[in-house]
Every structure is written in structure tokens, then in C-alpha cells.
Amino acid sequence: MTVLIAYGSRRGGTAGLAEMIGAELVAQGLPADVLPADTVTSVDDYQAVVLAGSLYINRWHPDARKFARRLSEGLRTRPVWLVSSGPLDDSAATSVLPPVPQVARVSRNVGARGCVTFGGRLTPDARGFVAHSMAKTRAGDWRDPAQVKAFATEVADVLRPSRAGAES
Ligand SMILES: Cc1cc2nc3c(=O)[nH]c(=O)nc-3n(C[C@H](O)[C@H](O)[C@H](O)COP(=O)(O)O)c2cc1C
């Protein structure tokens, strides 16, 4: 069965991260669908879910939060990982960052297997008053392909035995 990577993203950085996770899972032999969280109405067709959301002022993207609330029943009965993105510096690559309180709460509610925070991205042409002025000094891309690969490998390692079990 397929792994769902659902994401909430304001400026595309987390969407790109979700695509990277999906591509890595596929490369490791696990079929994956990557979809905006607000378009998903059920997780019934999925073996497992990775739910990703960008962080703004220490809050998880509303589409990720609403997804977790709306589909909590389905999430409680399958493996789930929660992804946040992320700091505009190398802190996510050099240390293990704890989830923000909202993500920690979702994690407890759905019994997530893990929470991970990846570095973020802010483009120099970011729109919006605050983002635009932040971009003058903090634009850059801290999403780390090696860290994404390590995370996807962890997910694939958990899911492969159950897939084998389901097929035998
Ligand atoms: C106004 C603003 C507030 C932000 N607040 C946080 C924050 O609280 N924690 C954090 O880790 N990153 C924060 N960031 C960085 C974003 O999470 C990062 O740019 C992320 O990759 C954005 O994802 P998106 O492109 O999917 O929207 C902030 C960025 C902006 C522009």
C-alpha cells in the first residue's frame, strides 16, 4: 500500500520538502502520494501518513492542524510521522529540535511514531510585509537532502516488514 505525504505550506518550501520525502520513499521501494493536506478527505487507502507543515511564529500550518483534527480517527490506526519546517539557520541540521507545542499535542493525540523538524526556506522575493523584510537578511534554503534521506530511510525501515507481512 501507499504512503501519504500530506502538507500545509504557505510559500512552497514545505511542499518541496514533502516532494523530496515522497521521492525518497519511492526510491526506497515504497509507493507514495504527495498531496496538499486540505485536499485529502480520507486516509483509508494509505498504509501510513507523513504530515508536514511549515512553522510560522511557532505555530504549525493550519492545513496540517486541520488535517490532524479532521482525520484523527484514521491517523490513530496507522503509523504517522509529523514533520515541521523550519528554522532559517542550521539549527535543524546540527541538533534535534523538539516539536512546537501544537505538534507535540497532535503527536500525543494520534500516537505518532515520530516528530522531526527540518530546516526551512525563505526566498529573497518572499511576499508579505514581515516575510519580505525578514528575507532581506535571512533568505536562504536550509532544507537538507541528507537529513530528508535519513528520515525517509527510518520510515521505510518501519513500513517494509508490515508490507511484507500484508503481502504474504
Ligand atoms: C513571518 C515568518 C515567521 C516564521 N516563524 C518561524 C518559526 O516560528 N519557527 C521556525 O522554525 N521557522 C519560522 N519561519 C520560517 C519558515 O517556517 C520557513 O520559511 C518555512 O520553510 C516556510 O515554509 P513554506 O514555504 O512551506 O511556507 C518563519 C518565517 C516567516 C516568514
Residue 165 lies in a domain: no
What's residue 160's pLDDT?
Answer: 86
Nearest residue to 3 via CA among 161, 166, 155, 167: 155
Give 14 Cα–ligand 1 centroid separation in angstroms: 10
Residue 29 lies in a domain: yes
Residue 164 lies in a domain: no
Express each pLDDT in 92-105 by its tens digit: 999 999 999 999 99
| Residue 147 cell numbers, joined | 537529513
What's residue 167's pLDDT?
Answer: 47
pTM value is 0.96
Whichever domain contains 31, its CATH number is 3.40.50.360
Q: What's the rounded Cα separation, in Å, for the pair 68 and 57?
A: 19
Please report the beta strands in 17-152, taking only residues with DSSP state E, as ranges in sequence order: 32-36, 46-56, 59-60, 80-85, 114-118, 121-122, 140-141
Residue 113 lies in a domain: yes
Chain-centre distance for alpha carbon 2 = 16
Please give the angle made by the CA atoms of 150, 103 and 40, to the nearest 5 degrees. Answer: 80
Question: Which residues of the chain have a pLDDT value below 70?
Answer: 161-168
> Quick check: CB of 9 below 6 Å from ligand 1?
yes
| Residues comprising the chain, all counted | 168
Residue 166 lies in a domain: no
Residue 12 lies in a domain: yes
| Residue ranges making up the domain that contains 45 | 3-159
With cell 541540521, the residue in question is 93
- Which residue's CA lies nearest to atom 1 of ligand 1? 131
Nearest residue to 149 via CA among 10, 21, 45, 2: 21
> Quick check: CB of 137 below 6 Å from ligand 1?
no
Total domains present in the chain: 1
Residue 9 lies in a domain: yes
11 Cα nearest atom in ligand 1: 25
- 122, 132, 138: which to mutate for ligand 1, most atoms within 8 A of CB? 122
Residue 93 lies in a domain: yes
| Residue 96 cell numbers, joined | 534535534
Q: What's the rounded Cα separation, in Å, for the pair 168 and 160?
A: 12
Give 37 Cα–ligand 1 centroid separation in angstroms: 18
Q: Which residue(s) pair with 53 in the sheet?
A: 8, 84
